[in-house]
Chain A
Amino acid sequence: MGKKFSLGRLAFIGTPYFWLLIFFLFPFFIVFKISLSDLAVAQPPYVPNFDFSEGWNGLLLFFSQLDIENYTFLFEDSLYYKSYLSSLQIALLSTLLTLLIGFPIAYAMSKAPKRFQALLLMLIILPFWTSFLIRVYAWIGILKPEGFLNQALLWLGIIDKPLIILNTNIAVYIGIVYSYLPFMVLPLYASLERIDMSLIEAARDLGCSALKAFWVVTLPLAVPGIIAGCFLVFIPAIGEFVIPDVLGGSETLMIGKTLWTEFFNNRDWPVASAVAVILLLLLLIPILWFQKFQEKQMEAGT
């Protein structure tokens, strides 16, 4: 085992970390740095900027100008924490709704004859072939007061005047649930499809009704899929910008929208970056909790 071996090993182990570094950590540090900077009428619109020509002194000067006043500002203005809370609420509720709608779909898919499953899977992925933006815009046509939905309900006689859905939070929920449903269904299907039928039979054999067997065997074994699906919906939903912007109303408060306004309307990059960093930290909480949960599961085994 010479040097060659350890070099190859290093490359093998190092590559993913390298990608992580350049595609995740490095951009994050740029954002983090901007969040500690001050707004300026300049190009780029913040100071300080690191100047290589100044050498050591330049570096010291650079660091002395960084501060956390953008973060303290976030706590002073109620707009921000209201946006965070409202985003959290919308993301949580739509994740729950997606789970409730996605689970039966995934379950039915896993129970469908094997030869149809690939087709069903295709159908779930099919919407991705059209632009996300177009699909969200299409909902305007469905939800607006004179849209398809209202016309259909009027025609059926269920309502006698159009429902106001567009430009409310309800439209945002509909948009998020619709857009992220595949991200819920796919991991759920993957975990349900893996469950050995003989486990259900064993449960039935030992005295469970069909419903009870689902409850004590199928559901617990689907937990990894449920968690994965919820994360895949919750994390992008909390920072969602397009859906609240297109379907939501003026009272719809979401952090993604706030961030966008900060960035493009106010051109306040440092505050926008601080908003993004806090959002990232907020998302770390459920991820860390999930890791803990997994560890616990591993420990429970031994």
Chain B
Amino acid sequence: MTTAAKSYDSVSSEFSPWTDSNATPLIQFQNVTKRYGDFVAIDNLSLDIYEREFFALLGPSGCGKTTMMRLLAGFEGLTEGRILLGGKDISHIPPNQRPVNMMFQSYALFPHMNVEQNIGFGLKQEGKSKAEIKDRVEELIQLVQLQQFTKRKPEQLSGGQRQRVALARSLAKKPKLLLLDEPLGALDKKLREQTQFELMNLQEQLGMTFMIVTHDQEEAMTVASRIAVMSKGELVQVDTPAQIYEAPKSRYVADFIGNVNFIGATVDSIAINKDAQEIEATLSNNTLVNATTTEITEIKQGDSIWLSLRPEKIAVDKAEPEGDRNKLKGTVIDIGYVGNVSTYHVQIAEDVIVKAQRVNRNRLRNRQITWDDEVWLHWNEDAALALDK
């Protein structure tokens, strides 16, 4: 693959209703605006979410993720626009009549009820029989591994245990749409991965649609069919995890997901390749570099652009690589060791530090590259993405 313009989805499943123009979305946000007084929490936002999607919302604190969920659940009225569920306007339907359940960021467990009663609450309201409730609650308790705690009140549980009760409670009614506001944040890594897996399983088995807010991008990448990156009440980019990671459309998105280096460059020439641009550019130290865009952009010859390079796509070597392009010389000023990989912070100019990652094939003490070493950084010609400055 020589161009980055292609879809990166070949690895994931065939499930991609958003590319099918005949598919009808389960949820439609149509020009939705939500204001609190003068403050605009959601700004003229339009979005389609399809049945059986696992849709992740990512964004910095206060960007409006919870607000979007509260609009869907019906706790908040919208200021402008419409929200459709299955083609019907739900703006005026009260929360208890929406086929939507929410897991609250604050858990909102009923303090006067024990674990069982909390989990069975929704089923009881539905008027399910005692036996039915008992079976379902047991199933859910099994799922979230709270067998020893069924009779405890929320205040007698740890943070992670409470989170699991909240999760089980929101799953109990098998809603059409489940809203999960940071559902796994308080769990340890093992349990979190296990629960992620369970969630994906559940979603597949029950055909539910999930919308999840998370601050853990790895989690979003793992579970989501699509990710929406938000900023100040707006959607910046909505795409599959692979697209978001490999083909971010802006510096904001590239920076938000994973680690990335931005290096300034000036465009020398542009060639069009299908529906993307292939750019040759020069860095400030006259190094020639290649870069691609993910779509036809407004970048022109002579423009300054950002070269966006993921650390794992940059190789670190002591010997000078062949060729005269896509390489930089610098000094190692720091090494971040996280076990499986090491991140080398390499100073290439007075105010430019580039991070490059290397898998630690050798044991730590046999490391060939160390502090203050002169090294060469180099990358493939399709590794760098050009982003508008």
Bound pair: A and B?
yes
Bound Cα distance from A220 to B156, whole angstroms: 19
User: A residues 197-218 with Cβ under 8 Å of B?
Assistant: 198-199, 201-210, 212, 217
On whether the beta carbons of B111 and A205 are closer than 8 Å, the reply is no
Which residue of the partner chain, among A198, A204, A207, contacts B126 with CB atoms under 8 Å?
Answer: A207
On whether the beta carbons of B111 and A221 are closer than 8 Å, the reply is yes
B104 interfacial contact with A, CB 8 Å:
yes
What residues of B have a CB within 8 angstroms of the CB of A205 in the complex?
A: 73, 75, 95-96, 100-102
Bound Cα distance from A202 to B173, whole angstroms: 13
1/0 contact string of A285-302 vs chain B (CB within 8 Å): 000000000000000011
Bound Cα distance from A209 to B109, whole angstroms: 18
On whether the beta carbons of A217 and B95 are closer than 8 Å, the reply is no
On whether the beta carbons of A199 and B110 are closer than 8 Å, the reply is yes
On whether the beta carbons of A198 and B122 are closer than 8 Å, the reply is no
1/0 contact string of A174-203 vs chain B (CB within 8 Å): 000000000000000000000010110111
B108 interfacial contact with A, CB 8 Å:
yes
B158 to chain A minimum Cβ distance, whole angstroms, is 15
What residues of B have a CB within 8 angstroms of the CB of A206 in the complex?
A: 96, 101, 121-122, 125, 169, 172-173
User: B residues 103-154 with Cβ under 8 Å of A?
Assistant: 104, 106, 108-112, 114, 121-122, 125-126, 151-153
Give A206's nearest chain B residue, CB to CB.
B122
B161 to chain A minimum Cβ distance, whole angstroms, is 14
What residues of A have a CB within 8 angstroms of the CB of B75 in the complex?
A: 201, 204-205
Give A297's nearest chain B residue, CB to CB.
B112
B63 to chain A minimum Cβ distance, whole angstroms, is 20
What residues of B have a CB within 8 angstroms of the CB of A220 in the complex?
A: 112
Bound Cα distance from A201 to B179, whole angstroms: 14
B187 to chain A minimum Cβ distance, whole angstroms, is 20
Which residue of the partner chain, among A202, A204, A207, A210, contacts B110 with CB atoms under 8 Å?
Answer: A202
Interface size on A, residues (CB 8 A): 19
Which residue of the partner chain, among B96, B102, B108, B153, contacts A199 with CB atoms under 8 Å?
Answer: B108
What residues of B have a CB within 8 angstroms of the CB of A198 in the complex?
A: 104, 106, 108
Bound Cα distance from A201 to B151, whole angstroms: 24
- Interface centre among B106, B125, B152, B169, by most chain A C-beta atoms within 10 angstroms, is B125
Bound Cα distance from A221 to B111, whole angstroms: 8
B124 to chain A minimum Cβ distance, whole angstroms, is 9
What residues of A have a CB within 8 angstroms of the CB of B110 in the complex?
A: 199, 202-203, 217
A148 to chain B minimum Cβ distance, whole angstroms, is 44
User: A residues 142-193 with Cβ under 8 Å of B?
Assistant: none
B83 to chain A minimum Cβ distance, whole angstroms, is 16
- Interface centre among B102, B110, B155, by most chain A C-beta atoms within 10 angstroms, is B110
A203 to chain B minimum Cβ distance, whole angstroms, is 7
Give A196's nearest chain B residue, CB to CB.
B108
What residues of B have a CB within 8 angstroms of the CB of A301 in the complex?
A: 114, 152-153, 155-156
Which residue of the partner chain, among B95, B100, B152, contacts A302 with CB atoms under 8 Å?
Answer: B152
B336 interfacial contact with A, CB 8 Å:
no
Give B73's nearest chain A residue, CB to CB.
A205
On whether the beta carbons of A204 and B156 are closer than 8 Å, the reply is no
Bound Cα distance from A206 to B113, whole angstroms: 15
- Interface centre among A208, A210, A221, A301, by most chain B C-beta atoms within 10 angstroms, is A301
Interchain Cβ contacts under 8 Å between A and B, 12 examples: A198-B104, A202-B104, A202-B169, A205-B73, A205-B75, A206-B169, A206-B172, A207-B125, A207-B173, A212-B125, A221-B112, A301-B153
Q: Which residues of A pack against B, CB within 8 Å?
A: 196, 198-199, 201-210, 212, 217, 220-221, 301-302
4 shortest interchain CB distances as A-B pairs: A206-B122, A207-B125, A202-B108, A198-B108
Since A198-B106, A301-B114 are in contact, a sample of 16 more A-B pairs with Cβ atoms closer than 8 Å, ordered by chain A residue number, is A198-B108, A201-B73, A201-B75, A201-B104, A202-B108, A202-B110, A204-B74, A205-B73, A205-B100, A206-B101, A206-B172, A206-B173, A207-B125, A208-B125, A209-B94, A302-B156
Q: Which residues of B pack against A, CB within 8 Å?
A: 73-75, 94-96, 100-102, 104, 106, 108-112, 114, 121-122, 125-126, 151-153, 155-156, 169, 172-173
